[in-house]
Chain A
Amino acid sequence: MKKMNRRSFIKLSTVAMAAASGTVYTSKAKWTEAASKTPPSITRSFSVCNSCGNRCNIIAFKRQGRLWRISGNPRDNKTGGKICARGHAYAAMVYDRYRLGTPLKRMSNGFEPISWEQAYEEISDKLKDILRKNGPEAIFWSEYSKPISNFYGARFMAALGSPNWTTHASTCFAARNVGFNHTLGGLPTGDYENTKYVVFIGRAPADGIGTSILKGLPMAKQKGAKVVAVDPRLSYSANSLANEWMAIRPGTDLALLLAWIHIMIKENLYDREFVSKHTVGFSDLEAAVSQYTPAWAAGITGLPEEQISRVVKEMAAAKPAAFVEPGWHAAYGSNYRNSTQTARAIAIINALLGNLNQPGGLCFYSGANLGSLDSSRHQAPPNSPYKRVDGAGVAGKYPLALGSGLHHLLPGLAKEGKFKAGFFYSINPARTVPDREYVVSGYKNLELSVVIDWQFSETAEHVADYILPESHPLERDGIVEPISARMPQVSMQSKAIEPVHPGARGLDRIVTELAQAMGFGRYFDFKLDDLNKAMLFPLKLFPVHLQQRGPQVAGGAWDYGQTMFRTPSGKVELASGTFAEHGFSKVPIWESPLIEPSSGEFRIIHGHQAYLTHSQTINNPYLVSIAKDYHGEAIWINSKKARELGIADGSDVIVSAKGYENKVRCKVTERIHPEAIFVPAGYGSFASKLERGFELGISMNDFVPHASEDISGHAMMQEAVVSIRKA
């Protein structure tokens, strides 16, 4: 068969596109002409944006058979109908010439298009072979967590008998979730709208967009709420939303929080009634923090002692309508050796503020009570009898890690020969996991790697043996998804337009057909529509309600006041027995970051920009042109340090760490701590097929070594230092 180069790929795509539409328009101009001659027929569909994890509800308008435009859906309780630039730009990708339209197979000289039948046959033959020789433990599934793959990916692994269903958590929010789970029994959401005082620890909700924050916080601010940003960098979010910036030394948030707990207890600023009724371990906590004075914290964090004391007093005065925001990836999602205990400290401060399930505090909103497939009619695969190979939840390895696993460990395990086959759904570890060399060379040891995505990625280009094209979300129905908010809702992606690439398929179909080819079809004897009906059953709703009317209210309104916590004790665990059992400190105590910059070095910190999502937007023409026009790729360096190094604003610098260096533009600013450089996420593409953003900027993952923290097992993505010099 002919080798596929870009030209033939594009040709193929165009043919597919033409074949897809009922009426064939051979160019956009022809369509415009046709559209201008006939009266407009505009239809509307309700869908969900897939361009980031917020999953905002959208309305897609179709005109003359083509996607015309999208808007937010005002009925979405989390967004109030606002969507961002990425949402629009992602929708437009439905017509992009870089979309994948046919399965591809790696040959010695490049990728070659193959049929679905051939892909299924070859993949299932190889998988069967691996199952026979190495057993189901040697197979993993890795995904960027999405509702559709949470179901189909996990069920597929279970069908094969594999315990290794994995998400991106360990390079994202793992430490935060483990810390909160073992303190409060789960992750609450801020009641942003009604709060009087909020402290963000590193989170930049207008850069790494947090929709409910952006919806609620401006309302609170209008009513006089104060916002404090604790961050080594004055982000665009902090600049526009915060009243005060605490320019903390990177990696020392835990010291600040411990001092705050110290002050709250010593000066009797906490909610005594809440603490006595609803918490355990207060005396342990009190004893542990007695040494963490504001003066001590000032020495470690570099913050003025006055500011440390004043902010916690202001916050306590506003309780219970005050909170330290639970964050996401930000400063402690998966960044430092001390991140899990940092998350615990944040959860503890909120408990001391007595703000849990209080107006303006942190709330455990109820989600929709969804149903599931009736297992008496649709045989469910048994749980795998094996332990996770990455050690998540396994005694002696990472017993407290999340059930969604430690995906950054998979390449190393592949290198050791423990994994032979891997599936990558909508995830790009070759670019988004620290240490490119470790990841790519590790995964190259797999005998079978299958990427399922709608476009190329570093992982597809450098790792995949097979690439299976997924259809665009606007071309297909999705799975029912809950929206937890004060008024819980359910929503669903519904098909808005006929497929532009009929060769691309939805994940539900791909997994079902693959399972059938493997001889496990009995676990997939239903359609997505049947699953959706089963999920909606307890709500007395049907898919057609969501298709025709968009998001629907699911259950009664949530109310304040609940004081049951899903911890072993049923109370807030200021001291965690579970932590103690596994040999970790039962109360947070100070632990410095693993790596400290010595003179001439900088800690490398990273974060989102509002117009890029991870590594998946770098070939989006609209978004990448924003990045190029505004030099979004520039790294930030403190002005004083820049002067010392003779670096001018807008000039190129060389960033180097052990054995690797790269050149990038730099932004010289007062808005970053002198010890840090900020590297925006989403750049540094090394997939040549993503032509529009190829090699634009740098990625922190080329400078961060592979590592794992002990408690939650995350990837410690800011335990790295670099040197900078003039280019």
Chain B
Amino acid sequence: MGRFLVIFLVIISLFVSGCAQEEPKNVVPESQVFAGEVTVEGTVKRYFADSPDRGMNMIDAKVLLEELETNRDQYFLVDIRSREDFEKGYIDSTDLNVAFAQVGYNLDLLPRDKTIVVGCYSGQTAGQVVAALRIAGYDAYSIRGGITGGWINAGFPTVGAPVVDPSAESSGGCG
């Protein structure tokens, strides 16, 4: 009897803590279900089949500029250039700067309810990131020609590292 009670309590506590820790499942969107099957192969097939209709998953710098001005909240802008180059001049509304090789470790930072726009130097590495993200179920585009080749070359504005002031007197509240 006592043992059952213990087991019961263990199960209950697992259930309770299990619920608490539960995260939203990575459900593959319906659009990626190909021939009724959700497989990597199917998703890849769908990626290739659909990409031409989406302009090869690229967005022109000019279109991006306009979109950022009007629909800022719908986009999540990722700059995959090196930190050094990023600091020299980046698009003001950048949401994340992460090197190409680190993208995989930072998938948790990428929103599934926004359009992810990836920018690199010339568009080549961003294109690879976009392909991987799309297969992983994100809605992603790369900046045509990259941030350097597309955006900066077009003369669109970038900003540099902000001037850092020493922070003001802090006066915390009390417990």
Task: Identify the A interface with B (CB < 8 A).
Answer: 40-44, 52-55, 61, 69, 71, 144-146, 150, 154, 167-169, 172-173, 177, 205, 208-211, 328-329, 367, 369-377, 402-404, 482, 530, 533-534, 537-538, 540, 542-545, 548-549, 608
Contact = CB atoms under 8 A, between A and B. Distances in A.
B175 A167 contact: no
Closest 7 CB pairs of A and B: A53-B173, A374-B162, A209-B175, A53-B174, A372-B165, A371-B164, A534-B162
B167 interface: yes
Given A374-B159, A377-B159, A211 B174 contact: no
11 contacts: A55-B172, A61-B20, A210-B175, A329-B174, A371-B164, A374-B163, A530-B92, A537-B164, A543-B95, A544-B96, A549-B109
A83 to B, nearest CB: 12
A208 B162 contact: no
Interface string B155-170: 0000101111101111
A71 B19 CA distance: 13
Contacts of A374: 159, 162-163
Kindly name the residue among B76, B162, B175 whose own CB sees the greatest number of chain A CB atoms within 10 A.
B175
Nearest to A41: B24
Given A43-B23, A54-B173, A173-B174, 15 more contacts: A40-B22, A52-B174, A53-B174, A61-B20, A69-B20, A150-B171, A172-B174, A210-B175, A371-B164, A372-B164, A372-B167, A375-B163, A544-B76, A544-B96, A549-B109
B108 interface: yes
B45 interface: no
B97 interface: yes
B174 A537 contact: no
A167 B169 CA distance: 12
Contacts of A534: 162
Given A537-B162, A542-B95, A167 B108 contact: no
A544 B24 contact: no
A373 B159 CA distance: 12
Contact of B172 (A145, A402, A403): A145
A550 B23 CA distance: 15
B171 A404 contact: yes
B168 A154 contact: yes
Contacts of B109: 542, 544-545, 548-549
B165 to A, nearest CB: 5
Given A40-B19, A549-B108, A371 B162 contact: yes
Nearest to B174: A53
Nearest to A63: B19
Nearest to B164: A371
A51 to B, nearest CB: 10
Interface in B118-174: 159, 161-165, 167-174
Contact of A376 (B23, B24, B92, B163): B163
B83 interface: yes
Contacts of B96: 542, 544
Contacts of A71: 20
Contacts of B24: 41-43
A210 B95 CA distance: 35
Interface string B1-27: 000000000000000000110111000
Contacts of A42: 19-20, 22-24
Contacts of A373: 162
Nearest to B165: A372
Nearest to A329: B174
A589 B33 CA distance: 81
Given A42-B19, A208-B175, A545-B109, A150 B170 contact: yes
Contact of B175 (A54, A369, A542, A548): A54
Given A372-B164, A544-B109, A208 B174 contact: yes
Interface string B33-47: 000000000000000
A548 B106 CA distance: 10
Contacts of A544: 76, 95-96, 109
A52 B83 contact: no
Contact of A402 (B22, B92, B171): B171
B171 A169 contact: yes
A99 to B, nearest CB: 21
A146 B171 CA distance: 8
A144 B76 CA distance: 35
A679 to B, nearest CB: 17
Contacts of B171: 145, 150, 167, 169, 173, 177, 402, 404
Contacts of B173: 52-55, 144-146, 168, 172
B130 to A, nearest CB: 18
B169 A211 contact: no
A146 B174 CA distance: 10
A531 to B, nearest CB: 10
A374 B165 CA distance: 9
